[in-house]
């Protein structure tokens, strides 16, 4: 492990023993290891529990034959073949900037990726840079190194040169607590890059809590000095996803919903390309699908009055 792990409950260093258990030196709490991944969840504070994780993982029953199986396979194939409705116009450019800024300060920076079980949009070149990445998530995945709750990060203060949190804040019951944790684990003048949705429908089931405007996103990171911010997924994507959910809302039957969804995707996917034209326009600051923020850890807090002056929308 490239970092020393700390108890998510009392922030004391953990010790690993030969039984694949991490034990806190202070409160003596124990945290298991599953699939060679530490499960650092505070059961008393988190909506998740250590018992949610096991070696085998959940198994979903699959139909064994007949017409139902054929229909399910056909729908699955069509869904897989369908174009994506989302176009992230800014991510690659922003990650290029983040990478340059990190490497200017440190030849081998250490970056925490919260929600990093898979590679995020636009990160393909970024993850090839000479950077030590620590990917955490609340779920197992090909990139997951540590399972933890973003409200209680299991790291000491001032550990990282950068933090990336892309499309995660919406799933948190208290995003301000997560922002405070990010601030805590970053070194002085270190960087955070975040993307958070605004004009998007629920996509995390019961774990989807938050949407943020451009200024709401800025206030979330009020203890950071802004480098750059704006819309990353634009109004064309917002329109396409709204159209899809409008059609799906016409029925409560899953089979019909799947068909309506496929029809919506194939008749609206082209709208996302208009984001390239609209992403920097004033209306996008009011109506984009999602916003980004790149900032530097600061000792100062921007006031709400100052935040109001940053409004760039069309009203």
Give per-10-residue mean pLDDT for the chain (315 aa).
91 85 93 94 94 63 56 67 91 98 95 96 97 97 96 97 98 98 98 98 94 98 98 98 98 93 95 98 98 97 98 94
**Are residues 114 and 11 in contact, defined by beta-carbon separation less than 8 angstroms?**
no
pLDDT at position 69 is 64
Q: Which CATH number fits domain 81-308: 3.40.50.720, 3.40.50.150, 3.40.50.300, 1.10.10.10?
A: 3.40.50.150
pLDDT at position 80 is 72
Q: How far apart are CA 302 and CA 38, in angstroms?
A: 36
Burial class (CB in 10 A: 0-12, 13-18, 19+), 55: exposed
Region(s) of the chain under CATH 3.40.50.150: 81-308
DSSP for residue 98: H
The predicted model scores a pTM of: 0.92
For residue 46, give Cα distances in angstroms to 21, 42, 150, 172, 297.
19, 6, 9, 10, 26
Residue 182 CB neighbour total at 10 angstroms: 25
Q: 133 pairs with which residues across the strands?
A: 111
Closest C-alpha to 165, from 303, 308, 27, 294 = 294
pLDDT at position 75 is 64
Q: How far apart are CA 133 and CA 149, in angstroms?
A: 18
Q: How far apart are CA 194 and CA 176, in angstroms?
A: 13
Give the angle subtended at the CA of 162 by the CAs of 200 and 208, to the nearest 5°.
25
**Are residues 106 and 79 in contact, defined by beta-carbon separation less than 8 angstroms?**
no
pLDDT at position 165 is 98
């Amino acid at each position: 492990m490239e970092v020393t792990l700390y108890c998510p409950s009392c922030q004391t260093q953990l010790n690993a023993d030969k039984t694949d258990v991490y034990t806190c030196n202070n409160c003596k709490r124990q945290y298991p290891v599953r699939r060679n991944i530490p499960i650092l969840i505070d059961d008393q504070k988190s909506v998740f529990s250590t018992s949610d994780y096991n070696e085998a993982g959940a198994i979903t029953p699959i139909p064994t034959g007949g017409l139902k199986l054929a229909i399910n396979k056909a729908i699955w194939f069509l869904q897989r073949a369908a174009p994506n409705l989302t176009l992230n116009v800014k991510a690659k450019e922003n990650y290029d900037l983040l990478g340059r800024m990190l490497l200017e300060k440190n030849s081998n920076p250490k970056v925490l990726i919260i929600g990093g079980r898979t590679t995020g949009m636009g990160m393909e070149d970024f993850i090839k840079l000479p950077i030590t990445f620590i990917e955490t998530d609340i779920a197992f995945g090909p990139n997951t190194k540590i399972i933890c709750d973003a409200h209680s990060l299991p790291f000491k203060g001032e550990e990282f040169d950068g933090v990336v949190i892309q499309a995660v804040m919406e799933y948190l019951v208290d995003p301000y607590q997560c922002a405070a944790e990010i601030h805590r684990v970053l070194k002085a003048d270190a960087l955070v890059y975040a993307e958070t949705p605004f004009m998007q429908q629920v996509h995390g089931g019961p774990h989807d809590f938050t949407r943020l405007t451009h200024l709401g996103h800025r206030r979330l990171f009020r203890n950071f000095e802004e480098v750059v911010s704006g819309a990353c997924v634009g109004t064309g994507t917002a329109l396409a996803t709204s159209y899809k959910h409008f059609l799906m809302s016409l029925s409560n039957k899953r089979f019909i919903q799947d068909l309506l969804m496929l029809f919506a995707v194939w008749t609206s996917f082209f709208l996302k390309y208009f984001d390239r034209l609209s992403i920097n326009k004033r209306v996008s600051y009011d109506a984009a699908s999602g916003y980004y923020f790149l900032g530097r850890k600061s000792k100062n807090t921007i006031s709400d009055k100052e935040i109001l002056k940053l409004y760039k929308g069309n009203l």
